Structure 1
Amino acid sequence: MVERYIDAARSNADGSHEAAFFLADHYAVYDYDRGRVNDGVHAVAGLGFGQPFSPVGPDQGLDAALKGRGDHARTGFQFRGAQYARVDLTTGIGDKGVGRLAAWALPVVNGAGLDAAFNGRAPTREGKAYFFQGARYCRYDWARERPDPGYPRPIASLPGMAPPFAAGVDAAADGEGPYARTGFLFKGGHYLRVSWDPPGGGGPCVDGTPRGIQDDWPGLVELLTAGKAKAQALVWIADAMRHLAVPFDPLFATALATHFHVAPTAGAHEKATTIRLVQAQFTRVLTALGESSIRFRFRTAGESMELDHNAEAPAAYFWDTRINFTPRFVALGPAKRASAVLLETVRAVDPASAPASANVPDWYVTDAEAGRLGVPRRRPDPRWTMRYDEMSTAAALHNPSAYAAFARHLSLGGESRAST
């Protein structure tokens, strides 16, 4: 199954030349003038919407979003299921009330939500919006606040449409600033340009073939997937904190022994001390993750090496109070991304965890442990003086990988290293 990198997108206030792109319960802001994502990953809940437009979790997100036109030019619309919510784009404050999608009179399939929406431009399509659902689209007139006659039509009927997009799209966005006469359609890791005023005249048409989002939208996929990974890490931490509050079940005892090396036969004082220290560390991590709007940052490979002095660009790394994400981050896959976010945040809040040598990966185990887990054996590596399963409790308490593996172990209900 092709991974979705964008759930929805809409432009921000007039003149900003920026757009908010949403994935799961977070969003990032892209600056069309700079041709780059802005630093920071923001929680949708921070916009102040009521339910169900303040989703929480890696599997919760918007269906579509759209900036209003005409009398609604100050309003951003967010769609989820059969409802929509509004945000004032000037103040950035969301409306806690919700409206019904039926109020738009769109010819959508009953019970299903939208997939995407964007606005037309140029002389012939100004004041129009396009709503996508499945393999069809509908044109909407902002002045009349009604759909135009003769719709819906097949997406495939748009001149130049590429076959993968004709079956449906994930998201759509208005171009802004230097791209004001362009619309964008997104599906998986690719996008298409729609020219509203093509050279030589004629109606709107697809301009070119699908291209990779990562190739042409610097940092957008990286920060969106970082936000989704943060959401997954928060789920793991919440599950771990529940177990830490009532640490009596066998699963907890096994996880504590595996990742922090406190044997089930250890004394009550040793267990209580370790539990208290782990809880405190997770509390600091939660605070830092709540600051992703100022802590999360995109770095190109060149920036990572030149500005942050890395010999090569890691997928994710802590540096200068920031948690940085490079193009390599996307290739990790969802579970490894969440682990990376969690362990790099541990490094951000615990100075003793910051040195690279302190982070002993959970896969760097003895041959005997590798055989038990069903993971590849690893040759001795000079970066680490001990294997993960040989660490003392004192060392493990400052090992970022231990916190990620411990939380994942408890959340998933068992050992997961063989699958990651």
Structure 2
Amino acid sequence: MVTAPVLWNNGKAYMFDGGNYYRYDVASDKVDPGYPKPISSGWPGLFTSRADAGVVWNNGKAYFFRGSEYVRYDIAADKVDPGYPKPISSGWPGLFTDRIDTSVVWNNGKAYFFRGSEYMRYDIAGDKVDPGYPKPISGAWPGLWTSDLDGGVVWNNGKAYFFRGSEYMRYDMAGDKVDPGYPSPISSGWPGLP
């Protein structure tokens, strides 16, 4: 199961599966040789048993969520900042306080957080959830599964990819809908992922 995928600015995406992670090379469109590896061997201070969701901000930090906690990961230093984990409720105004299924950062200054059959739109500059949320996934994300997403990541090609179980969907950001022909098996579109 693919959880907490994040796209780094080095041409790599990192995807998690339980206590392991995969490094995915965007240009060659496949998992790098030698993966999976244990989270404990490559992510100092990160949750070692699993990460539920992850987002990368433009401030050089990535944020990873598990249960009711989150950590702030310093990308340049390649480790979790001191003082983490912290409760989600203490650092994310208005956000779900536990069990975030996945999250994606859109190119509109917003991040979207999903839990169960609902989602929230988070204003990055304002550092808070926009008014009127949570809302149902159904009707707002045409063609997307309406509940229980495992992972989501935005590529630099105008597409977002969402994962659930052994399948994935490609979401066209400009068209605001899932592309035709999805869901598809992860094994057919993501070489080397579980």
| TM-score normalized by the length of structure 2 | 0.69
Aligned to 1:106: 45
Q: 1:139 aligns with which of 72, 78, 82?
A: 72
Q: Deviations over 1:149-199 (max 9, x none)?
A: 22111111134324xx202211111212xx2x221211011111222212x
Q: Alpha carbons of 1:206 and 1:93: their partners in 2 closer, same or farther (altered >3 Å)?
A: same
User: 1:360-389 CA deviation, whole Å, 9 max, x = no partner?
Assistant: xxxxxxxxxxxxxxxxxxxxxxxxxxxxxx
The answer (yes or no) to whether the contact 1:136–1:155 under 8 Å persists in 2 is yes
> Shift of the alpha carbon at 1:131?
0.5
Question: Following TM superposition, by how much is the alpha carbon of 1:148 offset from its aligned partner in structure 2, in angstroms?
Answer: 1.4
Alignment of 1:168-207 (within 5 A): 168-176=99-107, 179=108, 181-198=109-126, 204-207=127-130
Q: SS of the counterpart of 2:139?
A: helix
Matching residue's letter, 1:101: I
- The 8 Å contact of residues 132 and 138 in structure 1, kept in 2 or not, is answered as yes
Do the aligned partners of residues 212 and 91 (structure 1) sit closer, same or farther apart at CA in structure 2, a change above 3 Å counting?
same
Contact 1:136 1:168 in 2 (8 A): no
Distance 1:229 1:105 in 2: 27
Number of aligned residue pairs: 157
Deviations 1:39-86 (A, max 9, x none): xxxxxxxxxxxxxxxxxxxxxx123211113xx2x1011111221111
Residue correspondence of structure 1 range 358-397 to structure 2 within 5 A: none
**1:158·1:205 contact (CA, 8 Å) conserved in 2?**
no
Q: Secondary structure at the match of 1:221?
A: coil
The residue type equivalent to 1:173 in the other structure is V
In structure 2, relative to structure 1, the CA distance for the partners of 1:133 and 1:324 (3 Å cut) is closer
User: Is the 8 Å Cα contact of residues 51 and 65 (structure 2) preserved in structure 1?
Assistant: yes
Distance 2:82 2:164 in 1: 39
1:166 partner SS: coil
**Measured at CA, do residues 90 and 115 of structure 1 come closer, stay the same or move farther in structure 2, by a change above 3 Å?**
same
In structure 2, the residue matched to 1:303 is: none
Q: Which one has a larger percent strand, Structure 1 or Structure 2?
A: 2
2:54 is aligned with what amino acid?
A
Contact 1:185 1:192 in 2 (8 A): yes
**Structure richer in helix, relative to its length:** 1
Structure 1 position 76 matched with structure 2 position 13: yes
Q: Which of 54, 59, 66 is 1:117 aligned to?
A: 54
CA contact 1:182–1:194 (8 Å) conserved in 2: yes
Task: Give the 3 Å change call, closer, same or farther, for CA 324–142 of structure 1 in structure 2.
Answer: closer
Q: Which residue of 1 aligns with 2:24?
A: 87
SS, match of residue 157 in structure 1 = helix
Q: CA deviation at 1:324?
A: 8.8
Deviation sequence 1:15-46 (CA, Å, 0-9, x none): xxxxxxxxxxxxxxxxxxxxxxxxxxxxxxxx
- List gaps (5 residues or longer) in structure 1: 1-60, 199-203, 232-291, 294-299, 301-321, 326-420
Alignment partners' CA distance in 2, 1:101 and 1:183 = 25
Partners of 2:165 and 2:52 lie apart in 1 by 22
Runs of 4+ in 1 over 4 A off after TM superposition: 227-231, 322-325
Secondary structure at 1:91 match in 2: coil
2:34 aligned counterpart, secondary structure:
coil
Please tell me the residue identity of whatever aligns with 2:115: K
- Distance across 1 between alignment mates of 2:102 and 2:136: 14
Q: How does 1:161-310 map to 2 (within 5 A)?
A: 161-162=94-95, 165-176=96-107, 179=108, 181-198=109-126, 204-208=127-131, 209-221=133-145
Q: 1:228 to 1:170 in 2, by over 3 A?
A: closer
**Counterpart for residue 357 of structure 1:** none
Larger radius of gyration: 1
Kept in 2: contact 1:160–1:207 (CA 8 A) = no
Q: Which runs of 5+ in 2 are unaligned?
A: 150-162, 171-176, 184-194
SS of the aligned residue for 1:78 comes to strand
TM-score (norm 1): 0.34
AA aligned to 2:111 is G
CA distance in 2, matches of 1:152, 1:324: 36
- Residue 317 of structure 1 is matched in structure 2 by none
Residue 323 of structure 1: how far off its partner (Å): 7.0
Q: Kindly provide the amino acid, as one letter, of the partner of residue 136 in structure 1.
A: E
